[in-house]
Amino acid sequence: MITVVAALIEQDGRLLVCQRRRKDSFGLKWEFPGGKVKPGETEAEALARELAEELGVRATIGRELYRTRYRYAEQVAELELVFYSAAFDGQVPRNLAFERIQWAEPAALPQLDFLPADRELVFRVASGALRMA
């Protein structure tokens, strides 16, 4: 199993979402920033590292918000996806790894073409069933 961590970063009632680069696997799909946990890292350490690499920010990792498992037909290993709240007070995220990044209203998330593994969470957030606070 591969553990993947991702951040739900809220600002002014909107969430930061990222679109994968056109030439990446699952090109142009939307996701929340984050990535794979490396051996020897905690989930929080991995997420802080990924946010620094992808957005150029020093993040404070908050509580776990949601955990699920997903298996893509194209991959042998099942993914365990763990979503955390995160913040980077006063810092402006820079797009270092994506086609584009944007702040989106929670209710508008289902209109974006998210990765299949993220869709259940997207609908929970959009419906208000999962809250950040």
* pLDDT number for residue 76: 83
**First-to-final CA distance of the chain:** 29
- Count the domains in the chain: 1
* pLDDT number for residue 10: 94
Q: How far apart are CA 20 and CA 99, in angstroms?
A: 6
* pLDDT number for residue 127: 94
The CATH number linked to 76 is: 3.90.79.10
Residue 97 lies in a domain: yes
**Residue numbers in the chain where pLDDT is lower than 50:** none
* pLDDT number for residue 81: 97
Residue 133 lies in a domain: no
Residue 100 lies in a domain: yes
* pLDDT number for residue 133: 60
* pLDDT number for residue 2: 94
Residue-number span of the structural domain to which 24 is assigned? 2-127
CA 56 to chain centroid, in Å, comes to: 15
Residue 118 lies in a domain: yes
pTM of the complete model beyond 0.75? yes
Residue 132 lies in a domain: no
* pLDDT number for residue 89: 81
